[in-house]
Amino acid sequence: MFNISQVGKILKATNRLNMPTEFNATLPIDIVVKKQLNPIRFLLQLGKKEVETKSYTPLEVGAKYKAEILQTDSKIEIKNLTKLPNIFNKFPDTIEYSIDDLLKDNPLESNKKYKSFLLNHLANATTKDEFLFYSQMLLAFNQEIKHLFIKDEKKALIQFKHKKRKINFYAYFENLGPIGGEIYLTDEIYMILMVEFQNSFSFLTKYTNELNFNITIKNEKTKPLFEIEENNSLLNLKV
């Protein structure tokens, strides 16, 4: 029988690979678009450094991105620029329902506890943004998509949807970036990972033996199962 805590254990194991010191030299870096200087030139903040660069892909001023950086004496090359999902930026730092709560619950009680958590925070929201956030978490839950949060040294957002003996999931790790995939719950757990950044793909491929289950890793783009949109309608929300 499917045990929902298996998801938590798998993703907690993956998050442990989110914090290695040896990965820092090739880590995908956080980028903030500070200003648009002309149609194709932007001022970016890379860590503590500000640089001007060209981008033929439109960038959103004020938005946060993650990218791989190649630096030489003469230039900085930005590769695979990926915007952070809205859902990751809007998670309150004080959110209480984490992956550790999931590990404590049995499959039937987990959904009840999670829904109660959302309704309680929705009823006690003190700002418009907080109300909209929990409203959309409830909207996602009505689509059978659950959101969880890992609060270790590096935070991570987890989305997953259970379908019979398969779980579709999306995760965003602070160091590794976006990772999507499927978990097959047969006699043995089998996992397919889609990893967007080449550096993260290379690192995870090197350390798959630490995850203790069968896994295939692909260097492919992935996207959230549910994304916060400012104009999402709540008219169809069922509580």
Give the per-residue pLDDT at 1: 38
Residue 13 has pLDDT above 80, yes or no: no
Nearest CA to 170 out of 139, 199, 204, 145 is that of 145
Q: What is the pLDDT of residues 183-207, one digit of tens each?
A: 887 777 788 889 888 888 887 887 7
pTM of the predicted model as reported, rounded to 2 decimal places: 0.76
Which pLDDT band holds residue 61 (cuts at 50, 70, 90)? very high
Place of tokens 């418009």: 128
Residue 24 has pLDDT above 80, yes or no: no
Give the whole-angstrom CA distance, residue 147 versus residue 152: 16
Q: Which of 144-158, 191-205, 215-229 has the lowest mean pLDDT?
A: 144-158
Give the per-residue pLDDT at 85: 79
Better-predicted residue by pLDDT, 163 or 75? 163
Give the whole-angstrom CA distance, residue 228 versus residue 98: 19
Percent of the chain at pLDDT > 70 equals 69
Q: Which of 25-39, 74-88, 133-147, 184-198 has the lowest mean pLDDT?
A: 74-88
Burial class (CB in 10 A: 0-12, 13-18, 19+), 237: middle
Q: How many CB atoms lie within 10 A of CB 89?
A: 13
Give strand ranges (E) for 8-123: 29-38, 41-46, 49-54, 64-71, 76-83
